[in-house]
A and B are shown apart, each in its own frame.
Chain A
Amino acid sequence: MNGSPRPAASPPQDALLTATGICKHFGDFTANDDVSFSIGAGEIHALLGENGAGKSTFVKMVYGLLHPDSGMFEWRGAPVVIRNPQHARDLGIGMVFQHFSLFQALTVAENIALAMPPGESIESLSDRVRAMSSEYGIGVDPDARVHNLSVGEQQRVEIVRCLLQDPALLIMDEPTSVLTPQESEQLFGVLRRFAEAGVAILFISHKLEEIRSLTERATVLRRGQNVGTVESRKKTSKQLAEMMVGMAVGDIERREQGVGQPPAIFEISGLSRDRETQFSTPLRDISVVARAGEVLGIAGIAGNGQDEFMEALTGEWRAPSAAMITVDSHQIGTAGPARRRQFGIGFVPEERNGHAAVTSMTLADNALLTGHSLDNVVRRGVIERAQMMQMAGEIASEFDVRLPEDNPLASSLSGGNLQKFVVGREIIKRPRVFIVSQPTWGVDVGAALFIRRAMLELAAEGSAVIMISQDLEEIFAISHRIAVLYDGSLSEPVVAADVTPESIGLLMGGSHSMDEART
């Protein structure tokens, strides 16, 4: 970067919101350190940074959910203390949350009514929702129950809910992390129209390409500090990434497979699963093979059956017939997780805290939890402590897990470090098949790179890797073949080099065949 001090890009003449010297501490941790920032009417401004850089903390203070320890906000030129979300809304600040704040059991109109001042009837509100959806082309049915809506539709409800309050500043916390590329484009169209109408939009993201296409200025946070406000389009993605990380960013190389089909190690045939609750997705006749030496990427938007599929793969849910899942032609469909591990399968579920790892236990104990049936750590029912400690130590050193102390509690590790540990715990055993869901969800760029490299190396040694991920960039970064999970059905896998993210995006949005998607 050009070493430009903040703020480099010209600030708008009359700022709508100005923050000066905002600091926020949580115990010893400094989440925001002297952050200054401004946004003007009609501006689309990106707030950029890694997970844990302090973006969410900052916008929560703007929205009144948290209060700064020191520093000052000015709204339309006058100093203001934003007391609570209600106060923020009264000022004209609206926010769309990353994890939706909708009420699943209520209707769209009821959800919106809860965010509006009392007094208006549900019926008249429904009419206003309809009017707004037709005016801006945001399809939203006020009478629908939220739990029946797709993630994209739910986000539109959130947006309509914000916009009906007629905000002057709209904050969007990672809005595209759950959208297909097409849905994202649609969202950007809507946002641009609102910006033209004078609404300021503060757009939080870590996706660099979309920030360059949508926003005019970007403020980059790193470890709680504003490391510069730049004109988004004058920087390359790589430059922005380096500002975020604070050092040169490495690349990752996917080695293409040679000619000829390597043997299938892991095979699923005709796997179906009924819909069990109103919030779950049924699995529909899934058949797929994972071959030696490949990473098979399973793309798809959240809620299309990923959790159900992962449970079927790990054995937390057992298939009705053993033949539905085979590894090296052993039938394991009805086997539980421990039995499957004995066949050389390693799993890492999506949720680190409480699923992949027990946060209130030490790392060594956590290592034992999946290692008990394989190594010599348990003899005649008694744990060999020295062996167990050694195993945990090996995982930590080989997978660059940075430990705050000897054998710490899992909960004391950062997200990236804990993820490296739970992935490392499986990979160190060199499983024949490695199955992982969202391997780099919410971890920093460095850890993500490390984990992806480790998975590619494992595949290069002849194992099969199955990776379920909602991050399309990740899917394309390391998958050899890609299949898409949509509404519980899995598409035919295609060779990654033959398709574009856009065509996969179409499948993620519900197009039916690869032929339709392959353009």
Chain B
Amino acid sequence: MLEQLLLTVLMTSVPLIFAATGELVAERSGVLNLGVEGMMLMGAVGAFATAFGTGNLWLAIIVGGLAGALTGGVFALFALGFATNQVATGLALTIFGTGLSGLVGAPLVGHAIDGLPQITIPVLSNLPFVGALLFSLDPMAYLAVALLAGVAWFLKRTRGGLVLRAVGDNHDSAHALGYSVLRVRLLAVLFGGMMAGLGGAYLPLMLTPHWAEGMTAGRGWIALALVVFASWLPWRVLVGALIFGGITIMQLAGQARGWTVPSQFLSMLPYLATIAVLVVISRNREFSLANFPSCLGRVFHAGK
């Protein structure tokens, strides 16, 4: 029973890990993309349509990632190419993604697919308790953690990661050193879009195997909050996503057991918790701003 509960916690946090890790990379390069929700929805509808049409779940994952990256590309075109205001462009992207995914997904409503299979790792999965919990998950859960680890390593250990952090910290200096600020940011935004798309794809492929309009239900916004919660450090994203997944499942379990608290209040809990955590974190500026990318959200003009 407990294993089952914890397993659902893990699964609830997977989309958040994807989306928040992607947004973290974009933000470390100095781009604030508030369109995560829209990119997730495009990934979700792309993945579901592919899975429904072809029955190929692997292809569905790939299409989900591509749909997210493509939506991120729209953001990059405006925010980087035309140097528009990032906040406004991001909000517009969310509205755009919500609308377009609803339109594309309209004929898909009411259909169901088979979810992703579990991957059972031999030997390890026979371990008591942790075996079921950690070593017989679906492939996307492994992918999420692997990508998170990859991002952590990339940012800290590689020259590419160093350049990305430098661009986010001071784009004028990076430009003066001869680095292409816009190219770095373009790649970061596309990566962020792909990750959001993968996170979105996980919803119809794994969590609830059907398509519903707006099915991300604010997860994109929570992913944005998680990046701040994580103070721009990848591993803290994992912690934050698990906490959030835990609260979500707790309230669901509570509703199932007929707690006397109104269900609307319980549904509110994850979002309340997000706000509460952000407030607490923001009080300690030293901690919360240590890795803050100073150029976050600032438009870069070359040749000044």
Where the two chains meet, the residues of A that have a C-beta atom closer than 8 Å to any C-beta of B are 65, 84-86, 89, 97, 100-106, 110, 113-115, 118, 276-278
Least distance between B148 CB and chain A CB atoms (Å) = 21
Pairwise interchain contact B285-A105, C-beta atoms closer than 8 A: no
Pairwise interchain contact B162-A102, C-beta atoms closer than 8 A: no
Contacting residues of chain B (151-179) with chain A, CB-CB under 8 angstroms? 159, 162-163, 165-166, 169-170, 172-174, 176-179
Give Cα distance in the complex from A104 to B293, angstroms.
10
Least distance between B195 CB and chain A CB atoms (Å) = 23
B208 is an interface residue with CB less than 8 A from chain A: no
B294 is an interface residue with CB less than 8 A from chain A: yes
Pairwise interchain contact B173-A105, C-beta atoms closer than 8 A: no
Pairwise interchain contact B176-A101, C-beta atoms closer than 8 A: yes
Least distance between A172 CB and chain B CB atoms (Å) = 15
Least distance between A455 CB and chain B CB atoms (Å) = 32
**Across the interface, which residues of B come within 8 angstroms of A97, CB to CB?**
176
B104 is an interface residue with CB less than 8 A from chain A: no
Contact among A100, A105, A110 with B291 in the assembled complex (CB-CB below 8 Å): A105
Give Cα distance in the complex from A114 to B292, angstroms.
19
Give Cα distance in the complex from A118 to B163, angstroms.
11
Pairwise interchain contact B170-A103, C-beta atoms closer than 8 A: yes
Pairwise interchain contact A277-B176, C-beta atoms closer than 8 A: no
Chain B window 57-95, contacts with chain A (Cβ cutoff 8 Å), 1 for yes, 0 for no: 000000000000000000000000000000000000000
Least distance between B266 CB and chain A CB atoms (Å) = 37
- Residue ID in chain A nearest B162 by CB atoms: A110
Pairwise interchain contact B169-A278, C-beta atoms closer than 8 A: no
Contact among B162, B285, B291 with A114 in the assembled complex (CB-CB below 8 Å): B162
Give Cα distance in the complex from A277 to B294, angstroms.
13
Pairwise interchain contact B170-A104, C-beta atoms closer than 8 A: yes
**Across the interface, which residues of B come within 8 angstroms of A278, CB to CB?**
285-286, 289-290
Contacting residues of chain B (169-194) with chain A, CB-CB under 8 angstroms? 169-170, 172-174, 176-179
**Across the interface, which residues of A come within 8 angstroms of B289, CB to CB?**
277-278
Pairwise interchain contact B173-A102, C-beta atoms closer than 8 A: yes
**Across the interface, which residues of B come within 8 angstroms of A102, CB to CB?**
170, 173
**Across the interface, which residues of B come within 8 angstroms of A101, CB to CB?**
170, 172-173, 176-177
Least distance between A108 CB and chain B CB atoms (Å) = 13
Known interface pairs A106-B166, A110-B162, A278-B286. Does A84 touch B178 (Cβ–Cβ under 8 Å)? yes
Known interface pairs A65-B176, A86-B178, A118-B159. Does A104 touch B285 (Cβ–Cβ under 8 Å)? no
Pairwise interchain contact B177-A85, C-beta atoms closer than 8 A: yes
Pairwise interchain contact B176-A105, C-beta atoms closer than 8 A: no
Give Cα distance in the complex from A100 to B176, angstroms.
11
Least distance between B180 CB and chain A CB atoms (Å) = 11
- Count residues of B near A (Cβ-Cβ below 8 Å): 22
Known interface pairs A104-B169, A104-B294. Does A113 touch B162 (Cβ–Cβ under 8 Å)? yes
Chain A interface helix/strand/loop/mixed: loop
Least distance between B297 CB and chain A CB atoms (Å) = 16
**Across the interface, which residues of B come within 8 angstroms of A118, CB to CB?**
159
Known interface pairs A101-B170, A113-B159. Does A106 touch B165 (Cβ–Cβ under 8 Å)? yes
Contact among B169, B177, B179, B292 with A106 in the assembled complex (CB-CB below 8 Å): B169
**Across the interface, which residues of A come within 8 angstroms of B285, CB to CB?**
276-278
Give Cα distance in the complex from A414 to B229, angstroms.
45
Pairwise interchain contact A105-B286, C-beta atoms closer than 8 A: no
Give Cα distance in the complex from A85 to B294, angstroms.
23
**Across the interface, which residues of B come within 8 angstroms of A276, CB to CB?**
285
What are 29 A-B contacts with C-beta separation under 8 Å?
A84-B178, A85-B176, A85-B178, A89-B178, A101-B170, A101-B173, A102-B173, A103-B173, A103-B174, A104-B169, A104-B294, A105-B165, A105-B290, A105-B293, A105-B294, A106-B165, A106-B166, A106-B169, A110-B162, A110-B165, A114-B163, A114-B166, A114-B174, A115-B177, A118-B159, A276-B285, A277-B285, A278-B285, A278-B289
Given contacts A101-B177, A102-B173, A103-B173, 13 further A-B contacts (CB under 8 A): A85-B176, A101-B170, A103-B165, A104-B294, A105-B165, A105-B291, A106-B166, A113-B162, A114-B162, A114-B179, A118-B159, A278-B286, A278-B289
Least distance between A134 CB and chain B CB atoms (Å) = 25
Give Cα distance in the complex from A102 to B173, angstroms.
7
**Across the interface, which residues of B come within 8 angstroms of A110, CB to CB?**
162, 165-166
Give Cα distance in the complex from A89 to B170, angstroms.
20
- Residue ID in chain B nearest A145 by CB atoms: B290
**Across the interface, which residues of A come within 8 angstroms of B172, CB to CB?**
101
Chain B window 26-66, contacts with chain A (Cβ cutoff 8 Å), 1 for yes, 0 for no: 00000000000000000000000000000000000000000
**Across the interface, which residues of B come within 8 angstroms of A84, CB to CB?**
178
Least distance between B85 CB and chain A CB atoms (Å) = 17
Give Cα distance in the complex from A344 to B72, angstroms.
54
Pairwise interchain contact B292-A105, C-beta atoms closer than 8 A: yes
Give Cα distance in the complex from A178 to B286, angstroms.
26
Cβ-closest 9 pairs across A and B:
A101-B173, A86-B178, A103-B169, A85-B178, A105-B169, A103-B166, A103-B170, A101-B176, A118-B159
Give Cα distance in the complex from A223 to B284, angstroms.
50
**Across the interface, which residues of A come within 8 angstroms of B290, CB to CB?**
105, 278
**Across the interface, which residues of B come within 8 angstroms of A85, CB to CB?**
176-178
Least distance between B290 CB and chain A CB atoms (Å) = 7
Give Cα distance in the complex from A332 to B37, angstroms.
48
- Residue ID in chain A nearest B168 by CB atoms: A105
Give Cα distance in the complex from A65 to B174, angstroms.
12
- Residue ID in chain B nearest A88 by CB atoms: B178
| Interface-central residue, A103, A106, A276, A278, by most chain B CB under 10 Å | A103
- Residue ID in chain A nearest B304 by CB atoms: A65
**Across the interface, which residues of B come within 8 angstroms of A65, CB to CB?**
176
Give Cα distance in the complex from A103 to B289, angstroms.
15
**Across the interface, which residues of A come within 8 angstroms of B293, CB to CB?**
105
- Residue ID in chain A nearest B28 by CB atoms: A105
**Across the interface, which residues of B come within 8 angstroms of A103, CB to CB?**
165-166, 169-170, 173-174
**Across the interface, which residues of A come within 8 angstroms of B165, CB to CB?**
103, 105-106, 110
Give Cα distance in the complex from A84 to B175, angstroms.
10
**Across the interface, which residues of A come within 8 angstroms of B179, CB to CB?**
114
- Residue ID in chain B nearest A118 by CB atoms: B159
Give Cα distance in the complex from A101 to B179, angstroms.
13
- Residue ID in chain B nearest A65 by CB atoms: B176
**Across the interface, which residues of B come within 8 angstroms of A277, CB to CB?**
285, 289
- Residue ID in chain B nearest A278 by CB atoms: B286
| Interface-central residue, B163, B166, B290, by most chain A CB under 10 Å | B166
**Across the interface, which residues of A come within 8 angstroms of B286, CB to CB?**
278
Give Cα distance in the complex from A192 to B176, angstroms.
27
**Across the interface, which residues of A come within 8 angstroms of B159, CB to CB?**
113, 118
Give Cα distance in the complex from A152 to B290, angstroms.
22
**Across the interface, which residues of B come within 8 angstroms of A106, CB to CB?**
162, 165-166, 169
**Across the interface, which residues of B come within 8 angstroms of A86, CB to CB?**
178
- Residue ID in chain B nearest A95 by CB atoms: B176
